[in-house]
Structure 1
């Protein structure tokens, strides 16, 4: 930038005669301070302009160069290659799969968010089993009735339960897979989210590419690498995906028959008992002693019938079968008798809320009513900090609760039930503030 007293001429432009046409006024002693202030102001403005140009130049240069390479990720890929090679993945497939791949910051950010304490189950069900979803499920059931009948005949799994899983996983195929699975899995494996789980799934995904079952363009999934309408991880795809229509490919993205059969195949392989329900809501008689029962103990249904237990609509219990008593939200809320098929649904997603949502959605699609009993909405719920405290108290008392993570899982519920049984309480496995207080006082 060229400086002319009282004016600025851009750098590289030759001053014109007009720039000097106005005569400069002589500086008089009486206005010396004012003139000097004006000069200093011009100098400051000039300096700021130059600084701005330098910033823009630097920013443009940095943008042209692109983000600096992630040396750690490059090392991760270098260390991954020998394992991929051992799994039969060629160098060509490996390099093509990772061409241009960088860690996905949006995926990694999800893993670093503070885990939100689980909503009460009644809130979860309210958002999952909506009238809109039920009606859509019933329409889908009518549209694909012939296929659903064939799937149920082959695998023995209740077609409404298959629809319940489908509705919960991808809203009957309405949720789009937007992530490149290799990038998502590599990002999660790179930061060692959940240990080696995602590294293992990444190697399986590479094997799928190597086999030619899918192209990299077809390998789309969720942020965590779950794929298609059933939301199968790569290892699940390898084991349970089915080419039901005989097209020559296991298409769980756009092929409904393949997707329905793949979900049914998964449930059958995990122990589904054909002809048995998942369970049903029940009414317990006044004064019923539930201390001898809980959701992990399956007993002949007659043991409940002789104590006056009925289905929620007053109908008698089935004549045969083994059932366990379950209180999803303490003994003050709805009660269910469940079969082992309920646990099979839970193998799809190890969450009590999810499992009951699938089951209730299946019933609603079949035209049955939803939850009839009243939820204990006024019962104080543990917050996340209190849940951490309860887990620590259980560990102190010698129980195995799995990870101390502030979340209520199967091991924690079993520990709670044992604690309750030893103190003569109803073994509902439900964490409450009063129970936490009892644990803190226990020795």
Structure 2
């Protein structure tokens, strides 16, 4: 027990500046990681040849602590991800791997277009899987106090993965945070959900497309994918919609959304099976609106971003021959963190509790902003548009557009 406590204390206490490495501290941390690996059942050979030779990567710490200067608009995010090339390439690969994808749909209940869409968004269909050492990246993050416990465990899982499949250290490359392969699985998810799809005796997410696609299908099934249901759909809001119900916390049956006069983009009534849905307006009232079904939530369990979930859904639709977003995407200005902090502080000063002004427009800020907009006769969509900033007395001058 003493050993465990001393490891935790050391891992939480080691710190590094962004500009310089404390080499003695990192070496001490690596010594403790060797002890931790031994406790986790990692072989002495791996401890001596791999763990003992782990290296600190300053760039990893820089990326982990990097805060974007500007928020990303939905248009900017979507246009960069759901591109004509990605749709065209996705359609080609959907046909090319059709037999495997049909087998996966039968076994796991996940239609092939979604599997291909995840593949496209994660690594551009395997064309870029990352080029940083997974083991060194995870060790660097494990020895940084910000998320030491999480990344220490991921490093141990990566070492287990290395031993299970006899991966060479140099071949274990990925993102700066340790995500790996065609589908960018973290080590824990790799161990839990990776599947040998080509029958060669090991699950290799770097070099086997069959393994990667099968693993993605298995992962989505385990996350709760509902067979025979779509992700959601773009919808048409009535002109007088008051946005009283919006976001993941406000789920309703489709028949109830239909009762609020929400329709298909064609203007036809919604079909109303016994399904729950939530309304998302990622660009405010001047942009498109979407109803996300249970599978939307499953996509969010893969990546906790509404933008990402919509991009996966619409890319999958178009890979399968469907239409893109019908509503034009508004070209809103990108807001820098200082502007969002000003907005949050103004709302707090007006008596709306949005939490600490941190420059991140999270759920509390959206709720507070809606309440402010409603009070002042603005469209209460929770989106910080020009009219809202003007009412708050904040200038939007000099902000760049995407």
Name the TM-score class by shorter chain: 0.7 to 0.9
Deviation string for 1:302-327 (max 9, x for gaps)? 12223432211234312312222211
Residues 162 and 206 from structure 1, CA distance in 2 versus in 1: closer, same or farther, beyond 3 angstroms? Answer: same
Deviation at 1:73, TM superposition (A): 0.9
What is the CA deviation profile of residues 241-274 of structure 1, one whole-angstrom value per residue up to 9, with x for unaligned ones?
A: 1112332111111111211121122222222211
**Contact 1:294 1:428 survives alignment (8 Å):** no
Name the structure 2 match of 1:31: none
Counting only pairs closer than 5 Å after superposition, residues 180-259 of structure 1 correspond to structure 2 as 180-212=133-165, 214-259=167-212
For the 8 Å contact 1:380–1:433, the answer to whether it is kept is: no
1:303 and 1:208, CA in 2 relative to 1: closer, same or farther beyond 3 A?
A: same
What corresponds to 1:325 in structure 2? 279
TM-score in terms of structure 2 length: 0.82
Aligned pair partner of 1:284 in 229, 237, 243: 237
Report if the CA contact (8 A) 2:134-2:172 is conserved.
yes
Matched, 1:94 2:47: yes
Partner of residue 367 from structure 1, selected from 294, 297, 321? 321
Q: Distance in 2 between matches of 1:69 and 1:427?
A: 50
Alpha-carbon offset, residue 239 of structure 1: 1.3
Give the root-mean-square deviation of aligned CA atoms.
Answer: 3.0
Q: Which moved more, 1:327-336 or 1:386-395?
A: 386-395
Structure 1 pair 419–203 and aligned structure 2 pair: CA distance change class (3 A): farther
Unaligned segments of structure 2, at least 5 residues? 1-19, 395-402
Q: 1:172 aligns with which of 111, 117, 125?
A: 125
- Taking the aligned partners of 2:301 and 2:234, their CA distance within structure 1 comes to 21
Which is greater in Rg?
Answer: 1
Matched, 1:103 2:56: yes
For residues 60-102 of structure 1, give each alpha carbon's deviation from its aligned partner in whole angstroms, at most 9, with x where no partner exists.
xxxxxxx999211101112222322221123321121135432
Q: Which of residues 138, 146, 156 in structure 1 aligns to 2:99?
A: 146
CA distance in 2, matches of 1:198, 1:393: 37
Q: Residues of 2 paired with 1:413 and 1:257: CA distance?
A: 42
Unaligned runs of 5+ in 1: 1-66
Count of aligned residue pairs for this structure pair: 373
Task: Write the distance in 2 (CA, Å) between the matches of 1:85 and 1:184.
Answer: 20
Q: 1:175: Cα distance to partner?
A: 0.8
1:161 equivalenced with 2:118 (yes/no): no
Q: Distance in 2 between matches of 1:216 and 1:149?
A: 34
In the alignment, is the contact (CA less than 8 A) between 1:213 and 1:249 conserved in 2?
no
Return the alpha-carbon distance in structure 2 between the equivalents of residues 301 and 116 of structure 1: 39
More RCO (CA 8 Å, sep 6+):
2
Structure-2 change in CA distance of 1:323 and 1:331 (3 Å): same
